[in-house]
Amino acid sequence: MTEFEFKLEQAKSAVTRGKLSRRDFMTFAVAGGLSIAAANSLFIRAARAQAKPGGHFRVGLGHGNTTDTFDPATWAHGMNFAWGKGLTGAPLVRVDPKGGCVPYLAESFEPSDGAKKWVFKIRSGVTFHNGKTLTADDVVGTVNYHIGPDSKSPGKAYLAGVASVKADGADTVIFELKGADADFPYNLTNYQFPILSIVDGKPDLSGNGAGPYVLDGFEPGVKVHFKRNPNAFAPGNFDEVTQLSILDPAARTNAFLAGEVDFIDRADLKTIDLLKSAPGTEIYNVSGYQYYNAPMLTDVAPFDKLEVRQALKWAINRQDLVDKVLFGYGKPGNDSPIASAMKFAFNPEPVYGYDPDKAKSLLKQAGMENLKVDLSAADAAFAGSVDCALLMAEHAKAAGIEINVIREPNDGYWDNVWIKKPWSHCYWGGRPTADAMLTVSLAADAAWNDTRWKNPRFNELLPLARAETDDAKRTAMYAEMQQLVHDDGGQMVLMFSNYVGALSTKVAHGDLNADNDHDGGYMYDRWWFA
Amino acid sequence: MHPVLRTVLQRLGLGVLTLLAVSVIIFSSLELLPGGFAEAILGQSATPETVAAFNKSLGLDRPATTRYVEWVTGVFTGDLGKSFAGAGGWRSDNVRTVTSIIGPRLYNTFFLAALTAIIAVPIALALGLLTALYRNSWFDRVCNALTLTTIASPEFFVAYILMFFFAVKLKIFYPLSTVNADTPFLEHVSRAMLPAITLTLVIIAHMMRMTRASIIALLSSPYIEMAKLKGLTGRQVILNHALPNAWAPIATVIAFNLAYLVVGVVVVEVVFVYPGIGQLMVDSVSSRDMPVAQACALIFAATYILLNLLADIVAIVTNPRLLHPK
């Protein structure tokens, strides 16, 4: 931080506390080299940064299903993932806007035994919505619900490293891990892990949690209504919150324009410029951890040949995909799955650009000129997948590669196409840590290793980096792993997509989380009406 | 036995048989769909272990025939079963019965269908009679052109246009039709108004043109000529002489459109976020919530059977030759 930046931060906080006038702030900021417009918008943000309670926050979401329930093991989309993060539920830890892991229901957490054992102190005096007091037993029961032998929870995969969990008194929980994990607490920030109330050894799945809002009405697939929890240990700002499921993008936009909702997610990128110019609209545009990729099965011909994989990587114009599929709301990928905003992100060299000649010569080296491959695509993989595949086929033509695009049915795509067909489309939502991101999709034994890539060096480094507590050494190891994925892997990371939505200028917010949409899922208790 | 009563009983009996056949088709076609409830719910994050655990707790590991027999016997005793959603939970209080899921949505669907019918049927009949009366006039041509335009435009397009003008610009109606059991009657009407108008525009042409066509066909028959020669006015000829004989085809087409209003309005439901049964059916098929999907399909089949029966009864009652057979 330069001296000016430091002073600017101080000035901003003075504005927030009402200690500095607009004129003084502007004089200072403009003298420091900011444009008047930039200084003005900084002032407005800082002046509004004082959160205040009240109001009814209504959101229109492009998610929701009539089969939704309040059982965290079934949560899978953008309407219900926030339930566990800061609506009805409260997890032990949350992610802050800088990407750090901070205590929430836990008061503190500490590793010991070289990060093989983690001790969580639970906040005292916290009650569930039905009045029951939270104890360490609730935490243990919740974790066991997800990792038990009969578990149907996808959360099981995140806690695969847990050997045992036990309570030590009423306010301490001890996790024993199978192997050291310096990032272990991050796993518990996942939306599947709000602490559930355990009664007679069974979790209460009715939506009764310890979170800042109380469930007040639930029509699956239509509408969910919440009221502020007056007894919350960290209350939300809004008096009431309503989530509406509006799956049709045009209807969502109209509902926003007509003032029926204050926020919509998944804005229609084709018409975003019109939405931008609507009065009282702020575009929510956050460059996230989510990416779209085209995994090749590295044990199936012709993708088992390194030259073929690399040739295909050079034969695709990723910037063109960002411009046409994401309408510019994203960044081209360079085959490392770690978004540049994340800790330990590394941009491997050479950066894959569009170079059909290089692709051609690589194929020639392998004796595979006039390569013909099938690419399976469906909009279930990501919105615009089929168009994207057709663009890829067009790009690859210049390198003498014929890509035959197969349009697969959306129904059952994850069952019958993904990791089954040699080359397909896929998307990966953000994971809070580099370790989680690499483990979930690239570890040799991962259930979702969608390239069936089993690089010995990569798999040797993965547990070492996880256990390492020295940041400099970890950085080097993660860089090497990302280089390996880039050079040798079958994951063609096409692009990182932004989270794009729209919110009313009546709603104020601080810095936004990038780990997931909706301010990381925390907008319901972090945002407020200005 | 009275011929009407006999027909009704006969048709109801046949209806039950049809439903039984439909149930086999529904069950087996849903069974043929790739993937299952567990895969649909877990999506990309499904692992073989979690899928197996789901299937076991839902009883999906048992043979299909056992499950079919269970379901059909359940339906005959009035038990539509339990939704898969929530059935995976550990506690029984999370289980949702199919009846409790379908009930409120079926009410909403009937509400919207009734509201639309109240608006659309009188307008369609009136326009049909008027265009028959003044056929080939400019009025006839304008009516035909307008109704054909609205039926030819896709529903979602009509819906967007109406939403844009009446909700976003003029702010007369609500852009979203989110209603629930607590919504007061008048607000329900007002919230359902835009979907009802959209559907009216979609179905009016069919009913109006059928009315017009059947009246015109009758107008050339000798007894109508006789009525004219008696010196009756055009209005009397149509209302007292032509219309009674035209009821049968008109009733059929009205029944057909009402059935459409109950089973086929999913696009309008999605655009206006109206919690009806169409969206529920689509959702439950795509998430493989079989008990709900099966129940929806049965209700749709029953709707068609009953409305067609109703149309036939109207045809018999309005036709003395059928009512008093020799």
> Is the separation of the CB atoms in A270 and A500 below 8 Å?
no
Domains A90-200 and A213-285+499-529 share a fold: no
> Shortest CB distance from B283 goes to which of A66, A205, A427?
A66
Q: For residue B267, what is the domain's CATH number? A: 1.10.3720.10
Shortest CA distance to A142 belongs to which of A177, A96, A173? A173
> What residues does A283 pair with on adjacent strands?
A502
**DSSP class per residue in A33-81:** T--HHHHHHHHHHHHH-S-----EEEEEES---TT--S-GGG--STTTT
> What residues does A424 pair with on adjacent strands?
A376
Distance of CA A73 to the CA centre of its chain: 18
The pLDDT confidence band at residue B93, using thresholds 50, 70 and 90, is low
Would you state the pLDDT for residue B44? 66
Whether A65 and chain B come into contact, CB under 8 Å, resolves to: yes
- What residues in A contact B154, CB-CB < 8 Å? none
> Is the separation of the CB atoms in A379 and A426 below 8 Å?
no
Same domain, yes or no: B227 and B142: yes
Determine how β-strand A117-122 pairs with β-strand A162-167: unpaired
Same domain, yes or no: B104 and B63: no
Q: Distance between CA A475 and CA A323 in Å, rounded? A: 32
From the CA of B70, how many Å to the nearest CA of chain A? Answer: 22
Residue B90 has pLDDT above 60, yes or no: no
Same domain, yes or no: B69 and B109: no
Q: Distance between CA A349 and CA A351 in Å, rounded? A: 5
The percentage of chain A sitting over the pLDDT mark of 90, rounded to a whole number, equals 59
Q: Distance between CA B238 and CA B233 in Å, rounded? A: 9
**DSSP class per residue in A454-519:** --HHHHHHHHHHHH---HHHHHHHHHHHHHHHHHH-SEEEEEEEEEEEEEETTEE--SPPSSSHHH
> Is the separation of the CB atoms in A95 and A513 below 8 Å?
yes
- What residues in A contact B90, CB-CB < 8 Å? 145, 202-203, 205
Average pLDDT, stretch A495-518? 91
Q: Distance between CA B32 and CA B27 in Å, rounded? A: 9
> Is the separation of the CB atoms in B67 and B59 below 8 Å?
yes
Residue A260: count other Cβ atoms within 10 Å of its Cβ.
Answer: 22
A254 and B33 in contact by Cβ < 8 A?
Answer: no
The pLDDT confidence band at residue A17, using thresholds 50, 70 and 90, is low
Residue B87 has pLDDT above 60, yes or no: no
Would you state the pLDDT for residue A288? 85
**CA torsion angle for A437, A441, A446, A449 (degrees, to 10)?**
-170
Q: Position B82: which residue type?
A: K
Minimal-distance CA residue of chain A relative to B280: A66
> Is the separation of the CB atoms in A277 and A336 below 8 Å?
no
B47 and A447 in contact by Cβ < 8 A?
Answer: yes
Q: Distance between CA A416 and CA A501 in Å, rounded? A: 32
Whether A455 and chain B come into contact, CB under 8 Å, resolves to: no
Burial of A285 (0-12, 13-18, 19+ CB in 10 A): middle
Provide the 3-class DSSP secondary structure of residue B103: helix
In a domain, B191, yes or no: yes
Would you state the pLDDT for residue B89? 43
Give per-residue pLDDT as tens, A169-212: 989 999 999 999 999 999 999 999 999 999 988 899 888 999 99
What integer best gives the mean pLDDT of chain A? 89
Whether A69 and chain B come into contact, CB under 8 Å, resolves to: yes
Same domain, yes or no: B142 and B55: no
**DSSP class per residue in A406-421:** EE--STTHHHHTTTTS
Would you state the pLDDT for residue A436? 86
DSSP A338: S
Considering its fold, how many domains does chain B have in total? 2
Same domain, yes or no: B44 and B178: no
Minimal-distance CA residue of chain A relative to B181: A219
- The three-state (H, E, C) secondary structure of A151-215, written as one string: CCCHHHHCCCCEEEEEECCCCEEEEEECCCCCCHHHHCCCCCCCCCCEECCEECCCCCCCCCEEE
ipTM value for the complex: 0.78
Query: Of residues A447 and A138, which shows the higher confidence score?
Result: A138
Would you state the pLDDT for residue B48? 78
Residue B88 has pLDDT above 60, yes or no: no
The pLDDT confidence band at residue A361, using thresholds 50, 70 and 90, is very high
Q: Distance between CA A276 and CA A298 in Å, rounded? A: 43
Give per-residue pLDDT as tens, A104-126: 999 999 999 889 999 999 999 99
Same domain, yes or no: B111 and B243: yes
Q: Position B80: which residue type?
A: L
Whether A376 and chain B come into contact, CB under 8 Å, resolves to: no
Whether B274 and chain A come into contact, CB under 8 Å, resolves to: no
b/e burial code for range B71-80 (CB count within 10 A of at least 16 → b): bbeebeeeeb
b/e burial code for range A330-352 (CB count within 10 A of at least 16 → b): bbbbbbbbbbebbbbbbebeeeb
Residue B3 has pLDDT above 80, yes or no: no
The pLDDT confidence band at residue A44, using thresholds 50, 70 and 90, is low
Q: Distance between CA A511 and CA A516 in Å, rounded? A: 13
Same domain, yes or no: B163 and B299: yes
Q: Distance between CA A429 and CA A153 in Å, rounded? A: 17
> Is the separation of the CB atoms in A180 and A116 below 8 Å?
yes
Give per-residue pLDDT as tens, B13-64: 998 999 999 999 999 998 888 777 877 777 666 777 778 877 887 888 888 8
- What residues in A contact B275, CB-CB < 8 Å? 219, 221-222
Shortest CA distance to A140 belongs to which of A122, A160, A165, A111? A165
Shortest CA distance to B263 belongs to which of B282, B243, B278? B278
Residue A278: count other Cβ atoms within 10 Å of its Cβ.
Answer: 13
Structural domain span for residue B218: 99-323
Would you state the pLDDT for residue A23? 73
Residue B293 has pLDDT above 50, yes or no: yes
What integer best gives the mean pLDDT of chain B? 86
The pLDDT confidence band at residue A372, using thresholds 50, 70 and 90, is very high
In a domain, B91, yes or no: no
How far CA A440 is from CA of A326, A362, A446, A451, in Å, comes to: 25, 30, 6, 12
> Is the separation of the CB atoms in A401 and A363 below 8 Å?
yes
Q: Position B104: which residue type?
A: P
pTM: 0.82
Would you state the pLDDT for residue B238? 85
- What residues in B contact A156, CB-CB < 8 Å? 47, 49-50
> Is the separation of the CB atoms in A498 and A512 below 8 Å?
no
Indicate the class that CATH gives domain A90-200: alpha beta
Q: Dig out the tokens for A102 from the structure.
A: 């901070």
Q: Distance between CA B75 and CA B82 in Å, rounded? A: 12
In a domain, B86, yes or no: no
Shortest CA distance to A66 belongs to which of B55, B98, B170, B182? B98
Domain A213-285+499-529, CATH: 3.40.190.10
Same domain, yes or no: B287 and B315: yes
Give per-residue pLDDT as tens, B195-232: 999 999 999 999 999 999 998 888 888 999 999 899 99
Would you state the pLDDT for residue A29? 76
Whether B140 and chain A come into contact, CB under 8 Å, resolves to: no
In a domain, B89, yes or no: no
- Give residues 108 to 167 of A whose Cβ lies within 8 Å of B: 145, 150-154, 156-157
> Is the separation of the CB atoms in A389 and A432 below 8 Å?
no
Whether B38 and chain A come into contact, CB under 8 Å, resolves to: yes
Provide the 3-class DSSP secondary structure of residue A382: coil
Same domain, yes or no: B63 and B212: no
Whether A218 and chain B come into contact, CB under 8 Å, resolves to: no
Tokens 């439901």 appear where? B269
Strand stretches in A417-460, DSSP E: 426-428
- What residues in A contact B47, CB-CB < 8 Å? 154, 156-157, 447-448
Q: Position B48: which residue type?
A: P
In a domain, B255, yes or no: yes
Average pLDDT, stretch A41-49? 67
Same domain, yes or no: B106 and B43: no
The residue among B32, B51, B80 that closes a domain is B80
Q: Distance between CA B52 and CA B61 in Å, rounded? A: 8
Q: Dig out the tokens for B203 from the structure.
A: 């179905």
DSSP A340: T
B35 and A426 in contact by Cβ < 8 A?
Answer: no
> What residues does A287 pair with on adjacent strands?
A498
Give the relative orientation of helices B3-32 and B64-76 as an angle to the nearest 10 degrees: 150
Same domain, yes or no: B142 and B223: yes
Topology of the domain covering A291-497 = Dipeptide-binding Protein; domain 3 (3.10.105)
> Shortest CB distance from B86 goes to which of A69, A150, A427?
A69
Distance of CA B155 to the CA centre of its chain: 15
Residue A376: count other Cβ atoms within 10 Å of its Cβ.
Answer: 23
Residue A195: count other Cβ atoms within 10 Å of its Cβ.
Answer: 30
Give the list of residues 6+ apart from residue A487 with CB closer than 8 angstroms, or none. A310, A348
For chain A, what are the domain ranges? Answer: 3-48, 90-200, 213-285+499-529, 291-497
Count CA atoms closer than 13 A to B299's CA, side-chain side. Answer: 24
How far CA B301 is from CA of A50, B19, B260, B277, B305, in Å, comes to: 58, 7, 11, 13, 6
Q: Distance between CA A201 and CA B76 in Å, rounded? A: 38
A255 and B83 in contact by Cβ < 8 A?
Answer: no
Q: Dig out the tokens for A235 from the structure.
A: 């209350």
Give per-residue pLDDT as tens, B100-127: 889 989 999 999 999 999 999 999 999 9
Would you state the pLDDT for residue A151? 81
How far CA A521 is from CA of A80, A194, A229, A437, A518, in Å, comes to: 9, 13, 18, 19, 5
Give per-residue pLDDT as tens, A71-84: 898 887 888 889 99
Residue B92 has pLDDT above 60, yes or no: no
